[in-house]
Amino acid sequence: MIKDRKWYLSWQLGALEFNHDDTIVAVGLRCSESEVRLNDILSWLGAPDRVSGNKKAGHLVYFFDQQSETAAIFDVVDERMIKFGTISRSANNTKMMDHATGEEKTFNILDTMEEFTGSELKKSTEQNKD
């Protein structure tokens, strides 16, 4: 069941009425309201399912438990989450210019992403710990 925005924004760490999917949406909406630190996202949601880039510029993807066709994507800029949305898990979901042909091609960005463990994003966040 989809709740209203106010309910999601009432989320607090450890809130028992929020399941995994609700927590992802709540944290995503919080990122949409104001910038949230990357390390806070990782602390609240745990390791992402897919990542790209590093703490300066990258993306985090979390798969929903109850929505097999979509995933949540967070944009990272300068160690802050600046944008949140959803993408398709199985269909093409982004476009890029092919520099060789000059034509636009579509693809699924998840195919270009990696696991969090061993990624540049994980390495760059670990270097930042006190």
* 10 lies in some domain: yes
Burial class (CB in 10 A: 0-12, 13-18, 19+), 102: exposed
In a domain, 127, yes or no: no
Radius of gyration of the chain (CA): 15
Q: Give, for all 130 residues of the chain, the pLDDT tens digit.
A: 578 999 999 999 999 999 999 999 999 999 988 889 999 999 999 999 999 999 999 999 999 999 999 999 999 999 999 999 999 999 998 888 888 899 999 999 999 999 999 999 999 988 755 4
Q: How far apart are the first and last CA of the chain?
A: 40
CATH number of the domain to which 23 belongs: 3.30.1450.10
Collapsing DSSP to helix, strand or coil, 100 comes out as coil
The Cα–Cα gap between 95 and 93 comes to: 7
Its domain, for residue 76, covers: 5-88
Q: How many CB atoms lie within 10 A of CB 55?
A: 21
- Residue 73, in any domain of the structure: yes
113 within a domain of the structure (yes/no) = no
Q: CA dist 85 to 7, 17, 31, 98, 129, Å? A: 18, 22, 10, 25, 27
Q: Domain total for the chain?
A: 1
